[in-house]
Every structure is written in structure tokens, then in C-alpha cells.
Structure 1
Amino acid sequence: MPFICIKNFSILTTENTKKNDDEYIKMFWVGLMDGDGSIQVNHWQYKSLQFRLVIKLSNIITNYNMLIKIAKTIGGTVIITGKSKDVIWYVNNRDTIKTIIKIFDCYPLLTSKKICQLEFLKKCLLENSVENYLINRNSKYINQSSIINSNPLSSFVNLPYYFNGWVSGFIEAEGCFSIRKNTYHSFSIGQNDDFYLINSIKNFFDIANTVRNPYGHFYCLQVYKKEKLKFIINHFNNYPLLGEKSKSLQKWIKELNN
């Protein structure tokens, strides 16, 4: 069954309803892919191409349940690694991958690295040539700088309509709810290379803090002000986290309220 874009997606009445809404899960999954996913192309003994979509997380029951929910919604398989350290969602069937990546037509990826990975996968699917793959595999990120400079979010007058769900998935992957003994609890999020993305999250939550560049190409945002932290919490009331980060959020909220 083909995926259908629903661009008039609206806030549903309860958190539990949203957790079981297929469109919300797709938006959330795109954010999770942007943060923790991988879009892979490899070769098998130089004879044929292999394609794979992967999300690897710590093997915690809440992460397992989240990946099972994703698999039931969009497809894929969930396994636990041999040493039980990680839980992995993956798809390696070519036809299934062709179907699943249509979700990105509805809800585009927003990180420069994943955009490059997706474009390379599409190119390899189209050409289906091991020779071309070997020639081009080391240049899959050749357009990353131009993507960063052009800012994928600049094509939207406002943030994209799916950003609420996307940012919850991205925070599930990259967000951090910090609890400190001095009670200066905080929320932080960071990303390599993509200043434009962290800055958009800052604007989305109406945060005054400056996006910092503490080292290299890493950009991060950290928030302590309780008024803004409550605003962030309210977002998750409408667009819930689905994995282990939801447990972290609940512990963090409890400390904030003490």
C-alpha cells in the first residue's frame, strides 16, 4: 500500500491517541532517522548492491517497544544483538526500501548528512551499478557543504508542517534532559555541521540563548530558564516522545517540580 501525504495533520486530542497515530509515527521516525538512523549502500562481493535503512539504539525495553511500533507502522524488522547490548530496526529488502523512502517525499529529512545519504541511495537504486557505486561512494557527501549553506529549511515560509512530530523524533535521538544537584536543571540538544537546524529548534521553542559552537563543527543549544523548560514540556504533552527519552523526561519533570 503506498504512503499518502497528509498535509493537514492536526493535533489530536490525547497523548495516547497521538502515540498510535500512523502519520505522527512517520513524522517522528523521520526525526529519529535524522538523529540516530543510517541510510546505507554496500556491495556483495562486487557482484550486486545491498541497501539498508538502520536505527540502532541501546537495548532498553522502551526503545524496543518504540522500534516495534515503528516496524508495525512503516515496515522493517527489529532485532536484539547477540550480546543484548543494542536493539536494531532495519530494512534491507530493496522493494520495501523503495516504498519506505517515499515517506521522505511527504516528510523530508532535515540534516545535511542524511539528505546526502538518501540521495546517494536513490542514485544507486536507479543505476543499480556496482561499478558506478564504487566510483561514487567516496563522494556521497560532496554536496553537504552546499546543503548547509543553502539551508534546507529556508524553502519554507515557516517551519515545515511536520516539524512538531519531526522535532520530537530528533530530540528522542539527540536531546538531553540534565538533572543537577544545584537544581540548575537543563535541556540541551546538539548536532554536527548543521547550525541552521539547531538554530531552527531554538526559534521553534522561542529560546533566547545563543547556539554555541564549543568545538569543531558541533553546534549545541542549552536551556535553563524554567519558563522555557515548561514550554518544551508542553510540546511533549502534544507530541510525545516514544522511547527511553520519555522516561528520562518524566524523571526530569519530577525534579523540576521539586
Structure 2
Amino acid sequence: MTDGDGCFSIVLRNGKYNLNFSIAQGKYNLRILYYIKKILGVGSVNVYKTIGVYWVGDRRKLAEIIFPIFDQYPCLTSKQFHYERLRQAHRILEDPKLLTEHKYFICEQLRSATLPETYVHPIWTANMAVDIDWLTGFIEAEGSFFLCKKDGKQRISIAFGLTQKLDRPLLEAIRRRLHIPTQIIERPHFYRLETTHSRAVLGISQLFQGRFKGMKSLELKLWSRAVYHKKDREKLEQIRSILQRLHGKVIDKGIVRSI
């Protein structure tokens, strides 16, 4: 889930450098944040007007709980760049041999570092596969289960999609893992993986049953019902309407990316 909606941040506040790990979701999906907090046993959930944020800012808890997770299971997207930057900042701030001025100088350099436009996670190889548990969390954050109209708005198609600004190799690995025959769509500022292929849709429906912990579980349940009733236009219209209302709430999490 971190690869989708997680954030590793170095924050300068009141003349001091703070290190934070956070995951944000729209308010309608707060239960996934409380689930993460319960599993990890650290951190807090802050609720704002339209979003909720799970975060850990205690440096000792970061070192004891958060870092071991990402050291053992690295991020598979460009989030790895930001994790490594945070890890370095923590190491500098905890070094008793360094003067405070030297620590802050290095932390500012790390905080100001930007992701290279051509960044590709070094972990990726041509045939690398993605783990199903990681993929579940990623789709929980970034996946879209929806119904769309095609052929002059007469036929309703059942569709699944993922969009990324970077990390095309990741989308390619997901495409192979989900047996999606459709090729990745490349646009000037993003990549899009989308399919309405009936066999791929059925496989996705079966693969993720019972895996999601947040509101994505409800979306999948409705979407899977559409797969079952794919020849019943009236039911498809009903399910499409419900999913659209749900997605109207999900869109709040777009605000998270500007925080």
C-alpha cells in the first residue's frame, strides 16, 4: 500500500528536522488506516476534512518498526528513492559524532534532493514478477474497478485499470502477473494499464477475493457481481451507478498528493 499512497518525508519545522512515514486515504476508507495502525502497533491516525492520514514521526519507532519492514521488503516504485533518502537522514540525525550544524546541513541536502526524471528502480529486470501480497496492497491504493459504456454507449464493459506517472516496468510486471493481454497506454505524463478482456477480468475477480482490508473490498464485491451478471444490462446499470458514487468519495484522496 505504501507504494501507492505512502510518503517518506523530511520536514523542516521550527528550525528542526523531522522524519515522517505516512499513508493517506480518503475519509471513506479510514478503516484501512486503523487496520495498518493495529497491525504495526505504532503511529497514529489523524482525520482532516476530507482525508485521513496514518503517520509515524517518532525516530525510535521508525528505526524499530518501520525501517526493518522496508529493508526486508523494498518499495517497488520510485518511492524507494524517497525511503533511502529518509533512511540516510535518520542515520545522520542519530550519529552522536556529528555536530548539529553538520547534521542539519546534510539533512537539508537530502530534503532538497529531487527524484531524477529518468529514475528507474534498480530492482527491476526484464522478467521480474510481483508478489501477490504486495500487489494486493498496491491495488488497494491505486487500482480501479469500474464499468464503462462502449459501442455508442449501448454496451457496458467491466474494466480494471491502473495509472502511474513513472514506473512503467512495474505496470508491465503487473500486466504479466494478471494475464492482461492489453498493452500499456503511454501518454505524455503518465502510463495507463487498462483491460476489459473477459478472461483477464474474471481472473482478477477470483485472485483478489477476500484479500482487501479497506473499502476496496466492497468495490471488488460489487465489481465481481457485475462479472457474474455481465449479460444483465439492468443489473450492470445498477452496479455501475453504485460504483460511481463510491468513486466519487474515493477521489478525495487525490488531495493527498499535494500535501
> Which residue of the partner structure matches residue 129 of structure 2?
159
Q: Please say if residues 120 and 167 of structure 2, whose CA atoms lie closer than 8 Å, have aligned partners that are also in contact.
A: no
In 1, the alpha carbon distance for the partners of 2:68 and 2:178 equals: 29
> Which residue of the partner structure matches residue 249 of structure 2?
none
Matches within 5 A, 1:119-158: 119-128=84-93, 129-142=103-116, 145-148=118-121, 150=122, 152-154=123-125, 158=128
In 1, the alpha carbon distance for the partners of 2:69 and 2:205 equals: 27
Could you say if the C-alpha distance between residues 136 and 39 of structure 1 is closer, same or farther in structure 2, counting changes exceeding 3 Å? closer
Q: Please say if residues 172 and 243 of structure 1, whose CA atoms lie closer than 8 Å, have aligned partners that are also in contact.
A: yes
Q: Please say if residues 176 and 188 of structure 1, whose CA atoms lie closer than 8 Å, have aligned partners that are also in contact.
A: yes
**Is 1:52 aligned to 2:52, yes or no?**
no
> Which residue of the partner structure matches residue 9 of structure 1?
none
Which of 1 and 2 has higher RCO (CA within 8 Å, sep 6+)? 1
**Given the two structures, how large is their TM-score scaled by the length of structure 2?**
0.77
In 2, the alpha carbon distance for the partners of 1:88 and 1:138 equals: 23
In 2, the alpha carbon distance for the partners of 1:91 and 1:185 equals: 38
**Given the two structures, how large is their TM-score scaled by the length of structure 1?**
0.77
Q: Please say if residues 43 and 130 of structure 1, whose CA atoms lie closer than 8 Å, have aligned partners that are also in contact.
A: no
Structure 2 counterpart of 1:200, one-letter code: A
> Which residue of the partner structure matches residue 7 of structure 2?
38
Structure 1 counterpart of 2:112, one-letter code: N
> Which residue of the partner structure matches residue 188 of structure 1?
161
**Is 1:224 aligned to 2:230, yes or no?**
no
2:143 pairs, out of 172, 175, 182, with 175
In 2, the alpha carbon distance for the partners of 1:192 and 1:180 equals: 23
Q: Please say if residues 175 and 189 of structure 1, whose CA atoms lie closer than 8 Å, have aligned partners that are also in contact.
A: yes
* Fraction of identical pairs, as percent: 25
In 1, the alpha carbon distance for the partners of 2:208 and 2:39 equals: 21
Structure showing greater Rg: 2
- CA deviations on 1:135-193 (whole Å, 9 max, x unpaired) are 33222424x63434x4x2329x7525xx1011111111111111135221100111111
Q: Please say if residues 158 and 201 of structure 2, whose CA atoms lie closer than 8 Å, have aligned partners that are also in contact.
A: no
1:96 pairs, out of 43, 48, 61, with 61
Stretches of structure 2 that go unaligned for 5 or more consecutive residues are: 94-102, 150-154, 230-259
Q: Please say if residues 145 and 219 of structure 2, whose CA atoms lie closer than 8 Å, have aligned partners that are also in contact.
A: yes
- CA deviations on 1:60-104 (whole Å, 9 max, x unpaired) are 1xx2222111111112211211x3x21211111111111212101
In 1, the alpha carbon distance for the partners of 2:90 and 2:120 equals: 22
> Which residue of the partner structure matches residue 234 of structure 1?
206
Indicate the SS of the match to 1:104: helix
In 2, the alpha carbon distance for the partners of 1:236 and 1:204 equals: 13
Indicate the SS of the match to 1:186: strand
Indicate the SS of the match to 2:34: helix
RMSD (Å), alpha carbons: 1.8
> Which residue of the partner structure matches residue 249 of structure 1?
220
In 2, the alpha carbon distance for the partners of 1:50 and 1:136 equals: 12
